[in-house]
C-alpha cells in the first residue's frame, strides 16, 4: 500500500472541523430553516424539526380503512444545470413534485416529505435556498416537511456540487386505490399539460448543449423573451391539488399516469392491467411547448427517441370511460384547467407495441 507523506506537524491535533465537517455550521442551518419548515405544517404534523425522526399522527385524519403509499425520487442531472447557473429557486419544487406526483397517481393524498441534501462543503446560503424551495413545493402539495438530512462529506463531491433526494408518504382509502382493473377498449386518455421538461431527460439535454456548444443564456428562438436556461430550469408541475379535486368530484377515474422518464411510451403501460390492453395516441391533439421542438431540432433527435425520453408536453394522463370523459372535460373547463383528449385504449396482441402513435 502506498504511504502518504504528511506535510503537517505530526503533533497537530486533528478535529472533525479540520477534516472538513463543520457541525456548528450545520446546527446553525437547522436554526435558520426552522421558520421556513414551520410554514408547511398541516393536520397530523405536530412534531418539531431536529429530533431523531419525523412524526405524523394519521389518527387525526378521517380515514376508515387507510393505506399508506410511499415514494422516493431525485431530480437527476437537472441539478448540474442549476449548479452551473447558481439558480436554486425551483430545484426543491422539482424534488417535491417528482415524489408527490407519484403518490397522487395511486389516489393518495400526500401527507409528509423528507429531504436528503449531501455536499462536499456545506454552504448555508445554498442549502437554505434549496430548503426554502422544497418548502414551497410542500406548501403547494399541502404536504408537511417533517424532517431531513444534511450531510457534509468532504472528498465525495466536486467543489460546489451536491445531491438531492426526497421521500414522501401519502394516504388513500383502500377502496379508492388506483389504478383500477377495469380499463377497457374505448376508454379515453385525458392529458394534462406539463410545465416544460420537468425533471427528466437532462443527461440527453446536457449532452446536446455540450456537443453543440450552446450558450444557454441566449434567448429562446420562440420570441417569448425568456432565455434557454430559464426554460430548462422551469419547475416540475405539481398536480396534487387538481387531481385531488377531480378524485373528490368525479366518479370512475380508472387510472392516472405521471409522465416522467420514459415518456408516454414507457409510463402509460405501467398502469395497464393486462397484456392485451394498449393505447393509441394522437400526437396532433396537443401543441408541444417550444422547448421540445427546439431540443428535437438542435439535437437532431428522432420522434421515437423524443417520445420515450421526454414528456413532450403532457405531464399527467387520466383514463376514463366516454361518459366520464364528458363530465371530466366540463369540470376541467369550469376550473380553467387546460387539458387534451390525447387518445384511447385499444386491444392489442401480446407481441404488439403497447403504445401506437398517430398523427391526424
Grid look-up 369540470 returns 331
Q: What grid cell was written down for 308?
A: 420515450
Q: Kind of pairing, strands 277-282 and 162-173?
A: unpaired
What is the CB neighbour count within 10 angstroms for residue 226?
14
| DSSP one-letter string for 282-330 | ETTSSPPPHHHHHHHHHHT--HHHHHTTS-TTEEEEEEE-HHHHHHHHH
Fold designation for 23-176: 60s Ribosomal Protein L30; Chain: A; (3.30.1330)
Q: Where are the domains of the chain?
A: 23-176, 188-358
Give the least confident one: 9-18, 80-89, 130-139: 9-18
Residue 175 CA to residue 177 CA, distance in Å, equals: 6
Instruction: Determine the pLDDT at residue 6.
Output: 54
**Closest alpha carbon to 90 in 132, 127, 150, 149:** 132
Measured CA to CA, the distance from residue 298 to residue 283 in angstroms comes to 20
In the predicted structure, residue 5 carries a pLDDT above the cut 60:
no
What is the enclosing helix (H) or strand (E) of 96?
Answer: helix 91-104
Class of 188-358 in CATH: alpha beta
How far apart are the C-alpha atoms of 14 and 11, rounded to whole Å? 9
Give every CB contact of residue 274 below 8 A, 6+ residues apart in sequence: none
> Beta strands 162-173 and 144-152: pairing type?
unpaired
pLDDT in tens, 329-355: 999 999 999 999 999 999 999 889 999
Report helix angle 23-38 to 124-141, nearest 10: 30
> What residues contact residue 355 under an 8 Å CB cut-off, 6+ apart?
264, 265, 268, 269, 278, 279, 280, 281
Residues 181 and 83: their CA atoms lie apart, in Å, by 43
Please compute the mean of the pLDDT values over residues 263-267 and round it to a whole number: 98
Section 268-287 average pLDDT: 95
DSSP 107: T
27 has a pLDDT exceeding 90: no
* pLDDT score at 251: 92
Give the Cα separation of 155 and 181 in Å (integer). Answer: 49
Burial of 210 (0-12, 13-18, 19+ CB in 10 A): exposed
Q: Is the pLDDT of residue 78 over 80?
A: yes
Nearest to 162 by CA among 219, 86, 62: 86
CA distance 125 to 145: 19
Position 288 scores a pLDDT of: 95
**Which residue's entry shows cell 390492453?**
277
Residue 144 per-residue DSSP state: E
Q: pLDDT at position 122, please?
A: 92
- CA nearest to 49, candidates 40, 58, 62: 40
* Position 159 confidence tier, pLDDT thresholds 50, 70, 90: confident
C-alpha cell at 68: 399508506
> Cis peptide before 132, with omega less than 30 degrees from 0?
no
pLDDT tens digits, 199-230: 999 999 999 999 999 999 999 988 788 999 99
Q: How far apart are CA 49 and CA 37, in angstroms?
A: 8
Collapsing DSSP states into helix, strand and coil, what is residue 193?
A: strand
pTM, 2 dp: 0.94
Provide the 8-state DSSP code for 219: B
Residue 330, CA atoms < 13 Å, CB-side half-sphere: 7
Higher pLDDT, 234 or 46: 234
Amino acid at each position: 500500500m502506498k504511504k502518504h507523506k504528511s506535510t503537517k506537524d505530526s503533533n497537530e491535533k486533528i478535529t472533525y472541523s479540520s477534516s472538513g465537517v463543520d457541525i456548528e455550521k450545520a446546527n446553525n442551518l437547522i436554526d435558520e430553516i426552522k421558520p421556513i419548515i414551520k410554514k408547511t405544517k398541516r393536520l397530523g404534523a405536530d412534531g418539531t424539526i431536529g429530533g431523531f425522526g419525523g412524526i405524523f399522527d394519521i389518527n387525526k385524519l378521517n380515514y376508515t380503512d387507510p393505506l399508506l403509499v410511499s415514494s422516493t425520487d431525485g431530480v437527476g442531472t437537472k441539478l448540474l444545470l442549476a449548479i452551473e447557473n447558481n439558480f436554486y429557486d425551483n430545484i426543491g419544487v422539482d424534488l417535491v413534485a417528482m415524489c408527490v406526483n407519484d403518490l397522487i397517481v395511486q389516489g393518495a393524498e400526500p401527507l409528509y416529505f423528507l429531504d436528503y441534501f449531501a455536499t462536499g462543503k456545506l454552504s448555508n446560503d445554498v442549502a437554505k435556498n434549496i430548503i426554502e424551495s422544497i418548502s414551497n413545493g410542500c406548501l403547494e402539495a399541502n404536504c408537511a416537511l417533517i424532517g431531513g438530512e444534511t450531510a457534509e462529506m468532504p472528498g465525495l463531491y466536486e467543489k460546489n456540487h451536491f445531491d438531492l433526494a426526497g421521500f414522501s408518504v401519502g394516504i388513500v382509502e383502500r377502496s379508492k386505490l388506483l389504478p383500477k382493473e377495469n380499463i377497457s377498449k374505448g376508454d379515453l386518455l385525458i392529458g394534462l399539460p406539463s410545465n416544460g421538461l420537468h425533471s427528466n431527460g437532462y443527461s440527453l439535454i446536457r449532452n446536446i448543449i455540450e456537443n453543440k456548444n450552446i450558450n444557454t443564456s441566449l434567448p429562446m428562438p420562440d420570441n417569448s423573451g425568456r432565455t434557454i436556461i430559464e426554460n430548462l430550469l422551469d419547475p416540475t408541475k405539481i398536480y396534487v391539488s387538481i387531481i385531488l379535486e377531480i378524485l373528490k368530484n368525479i366518479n370512475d377515474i380508472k387510472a392516472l399516469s405521471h409522465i416522467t422518464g420514459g415518456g408516454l411510451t414507457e409510463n402509460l403501460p405501467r398502469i395497464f392491467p393486462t397484456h392485451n390492453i394498449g393505447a393509441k395516441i394522437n400526437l396532433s391533439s396537443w401543441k408541444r411547448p417550444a422547448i421540445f421542438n427546439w431540443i428535437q431540432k438542435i439535437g437532431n433527435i428522432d420522434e421515437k427517441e423524443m417520445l420515450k425520453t421526454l414528456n413532450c408536453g403532457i405531464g399527467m394522463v387520466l383514463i376514463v370511460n366516454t361518459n366520464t370523459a364528458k363530465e371530466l372535460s366540463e369540470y376541467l373547463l369550469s376550473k380553467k384547467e387546460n387539458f387534451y383528449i390525447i387518445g384511447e385504449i385499444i386491444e392489442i396482441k401480446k407481441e404488439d407495441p403497447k403504445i401506437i402513435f398517430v398523427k391526424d
